[in-house]
Structure 1
């Protein structure tokens, strides 16, 4: 097992998993009711974690998730009363979510309000996305008349998620759960898209994850929600300016700056190069701009790079 850096050790908590950008913990006393989900400042692209991290990114995305959770009319995984859980350590307080432990559904609930990314690539090949037939002649970035639900199977660690049809999701989790996941995802997306539009932002697509409360059987919204890392947002004024090149119109509020720089300066062989300070700063600013546009306030900032 790889030795974890000291920065992943937290008083009162036992580290159980690190993904590309997040770390998970359970209470060190062995109780199983809670999880601590810590968003790091790490940034990944093309299946590599890059150096250096983006200072403040974890705190910003956590704050944005919390902002959305407070506006979504559905049970979520956040723990309201933390009296029975270990204290959240100060060093990660601004980028940690104390959550209840759930039985997670193996479905990534993707909703698309626009045709772009992997969905557009599939449409070009087949005329459909995850089995949903779409009109002919659509272009990259076109908004859809109605959002579509295009689930994915969450593959085992180390493998890539697989786009699936709704019918396949029924086979995986049963008709009742599959329908509940679809309906909740479309409901949340529709409301979020309207709120974003009122703030001059296009919500193009997003992904949700849900779990089951083992005690009540309740469907619970989990993970991050409607952040720059889980969603694609466009500046509405730029998107609707048809005099601009399409790549400029579809510039998203996320780490695309990093992907673009890597594509220009790395051939994919060996370890990726270190990101220049200017790229780090521009990436954080892109994340920050979305937060300000949506919430109307300034995000928290954590100078700790993890």
Structure 2
């Protein structure tokens, strides 16, 4: 299998993120999830075949399931006025036609468990993004209730965690409250469903945009790239958890003589294969459907 690392649609303005190529079609956007993969703030030279399709299919599943207004119009590339020489087959399964919105400048993070940067911050202060937590919690512990821990989007590097008060200063109390309430509600919906399927959603981030005065859900939703997915049958507080994501990639890179300040190395075939398997497994466990591009 050959990963798709870059797409081309002649004549259309494009913005390329770490994973997605975003094309402007005037009244709407085309989001194409490539097979690029990032780690330690670098886009790696190797891709994971079908990763973009997994992310798109999982997002499509959640957009249809969650009780929320959203930006998705269609996932059918046949609905697009594309030039005749564009390879539509390569875009199939990884494309979302979406409404344009005024994007909120806040990463809406919800944490149900204590992990990652939240665990580090808790060890230092007993708080996460200004939210005071009970003493004595262990790494990966379930929190008494999910917490909203927003972040400011960074063009490069890590997003910066901020307090709710700072969020209010940026977007105003009304918008900040709406973002918080939407995020907590969506996390509750998604986490409850996933747990029925044997997946713990430890934390996740949502993005929202305003259109016609309404704040709606945009971007990707509850995927292994935007969330920590843990298999429930292996969950054990007090340590890091196994996960349905790019942990194989991170673990392998940590064993390499790479300083994380220069271009990263190519991934070996077995790491690529095992990472792909984890992404596909996440889709199949969540949806109960076989991944169509096997």
Structure 2 length-normalised TM: 0.91
* 2:264 aligned to which of 253, 264, 272: 272
Partner Cα separation in structure 2 for residue 41 and residue 84 of structure 1? 23
Measured after TM superposition, the shift of residue 246 of structure 1 is: 2.9
Corresponding residue SS for 2:123: helix
**Offset at residue 114 of structure 1 (A):** 0.1
Is the counterpart of residue 86 in structure 1 residue 81 in structure 2? Answer: yes
Structure 1 equivalent of residue 38 of structure 2: 44
Equivalent in the alignment of 2:250? 259
Total equivalences in the alignment: 285
Q: CA deviation at 1:230?
A: 0.1
- Deviation of 1:252 after TM superposition, in Å, equals 1.0
Matched, 1:134 2:128: no
Once the 2 structures are TM-superposed, how far is the Cα of residue 159 of structure 1 from its aligned partner?
A: 4.9
Other-structure match for 2:186: 188
Give unpaired runs (5+ residues) of structure 1. Answer: none
Contact map agreement 2:114 2:139 (CA 8 A) in 1: yes
What are the equivalent positions in structure 2 for 1:57-68 lying under 5 Å apart? 57-68=51-62
The CA deviation string for residues 179-204 of structure 1, in whole angstroms up to 9 with x for no partner, is: 11000000000111110111111110
Deviations 1:122-145 (CA, angstroms, capped at 9, x unpaired): 001111000000011111100012
Report if the CA contact (8 A) 2:197-2:285 is conserved. yes
- CA apart distance, 1:108: 0.3
* 1:229/1:254 contact within 8 Å kept: yes
2:235 counterpart residue number = 239
Structure 2 distance, partners of 1:128, 1:85, is 47
Answer whether contact 2:41 2:156 (CA < 8 A) is retained.
no
**Kept after mapping to 2: 8 A contact 1:151/1:165:** yes
Select which of 198, 219, 222 maps to 2:218.
222
Q: Which residue of 1 aligns with 2:70?
A: 76
- The equivalent of 2:279 in structure 1 is 287
* In 2, Cα distance between equivalents of 1:266 and 1:41: 25
RMSD: 2.2
